[in-house]
Each structure stands twice: as structure tokens, then as C-alpha cells.
Chain A
Amino acid sequence: EVQLVESGGGLIQPGGSLRLSCAASGFTVSSNYMSWVRQAPGKGLEWVSVIYSGGSTYYADSVKGRFTISRDNSKNTLYLQMNSLRAEDTAVYYCARETSMDVWGQGTTVTVSS
């Protein structure tokens, strides 16, 4: 079964760091275009970052310089390293596969608050 499972969310103080994981099964992360999308409480969807199969990475301006997307091919897992977290980064974070985003994880909640 093709599946994505996120983990790593939690409550973190402003300025702190967190690493989200997205474990894939049923397909190979490194062969696909993989994205992170977030959704602030009561708000719409916001595209955050992408890593192409070739390894190129791109970020939304709102997270550029603070977030880093990566993958571990041996673990078939996607990551999002989040540094210098701000209150406005509070959201449910989803990983998704390909430009069509045909497969999504269940989401992991990040709350940035003192």
C-alpha cells in the first residue's frame, strides 16, 4: 500500500528547532518529487517546500533560510528541519507526493508558543 506517515511535531518555544519526518511505504521517495504543505489553524493550505528526484530544493519565501528539506534514501524518508521557529509557523504539516499530490500523510501538528 502506498502510504506516507509524518511524525516529529510538538510544542516548541519561539526560536527553537524541530525536525519533521515523513516515512514512505509502497514507493521510493528518491524517485519522486516530494513536498511539504502546511495549514495554520482555521486557515487554508500553504505550500512550504519541495525536493525534486534529482535533489534540487525550493522553499516558500516565508521559510527560506530557516527550513531545510532533505531525504534519507536508505530509510525512504523525507524530512523537514525547522529552525528559528516563529508563532506563525504553528500549523499542521503534511508531506505529499509528486506535483499532483496524489498521496498525503495524515499530518503532524507543530505549535510554536512560549
Chain B
Amino acid sequence: DIQMTQSPSSLSASVGDRVTITCQASQDISNYLNWYQQKPGKAPKLLIYDASNLETGVPSRFSGSGSGTDFTFTISSLQPEDIATYYCQQYDNLPHTFGGGTKVEIK
């Protein structure tokens, strides 16, 4: 199975800060990576697909980059409504494993 190592596991930042989360795959997954946002008690929501493509309707402050084994998710200017847990997921090989998640809080 492909292991997805996501870091940090949690972070605290101020409104307006740039926030970066990384995800490392245990083997080359090309660009077969998604990023999701999950708020407490809610289903996950797709933000980024194919590593760098913004899902329709998602604010442009969210972005993704990377290919191969190393990926980055960025919130360019953190907003209060961005408080959530973020997950990466690879879909290159079955099982389609998720990273452990990053909980983002406001400082």
C-alpha cells in the first residue's frame, strides 16, 4: 500500500497568514492526488484534484502543487471559515489511501 505522510498534524495561524501543508507519498503517484477539507460533523469536501486543479466554486486562496512523491497545499490568506481538518489522498493505486490529516486552527 502507498503511505501518505501529511505534515504538520496541526497548526495554529493568524487570520491573513499563509498556511502550507505537505503530503509525501511512499512512492511515485504522478499527480493522482486530491485535497479535502472537513469541518466538524460534516462530510469532507473536495478542494483540489489532480494535485493542482481547483474544484469549481472553491475560493482561489486555496491551491495545490507537486508531482511524484511530494505535494503542497496552500491557503494564501487564512480566513476564519477555513478552520477545519485537511486531508490529502492518493488515487494512483488501490487502496486509495489518505494522509493523517492536518487540523488548522486560528491563533
CB within 8 Å of A: which of B84-104? Answer: 87, 89, 91, 94-101
- Kindly report which residue of chain B lies nearest to residue A48, judged by CB atoms: B95
CB within 8 Å of A: which of B25-75? Answer: 32, 34, 36, 38, 43-46, 49-50, 55
Using known A-B contacts A44-B87, A45-B101, determine if residue A99 contacts B96 with beta carbons closer than 8 Å: yes
Among A47, A50, A102, the residue within 8 A (CB) of B46 is A102
Question: Could you tell me how many residues of chain B have their Cβ less than 8 Å away from some Cβ of chain A?
Answer: 22
- Please classify the interface of chain B as helix (H, G, I), strand (E, B), loop, or mixed, using the class held by over half of its residues: loop
A14 close to chain B: CB less than 8 A: no
CA–CA, A58 and B101, complex, Å: 24
Q: Which residues of B contact A72 (CB under 8 A)?
A: none
Q: Which residues of A contact B43 (CB under 8 A)?
A: 94, 104-107
Is the CB–CB distance between B96 and A47 below 8 Å? yes
Interface residues of A (CB under 8 A from B): 35, 37, 44-47, 50, 58, 60-61, 94, 99-102, 104-107
Interface residues of B (CB under 8 A from A): 32, 34, 36, 38, 43-46, 49-50, 55, 87, 89, 91, 94-101
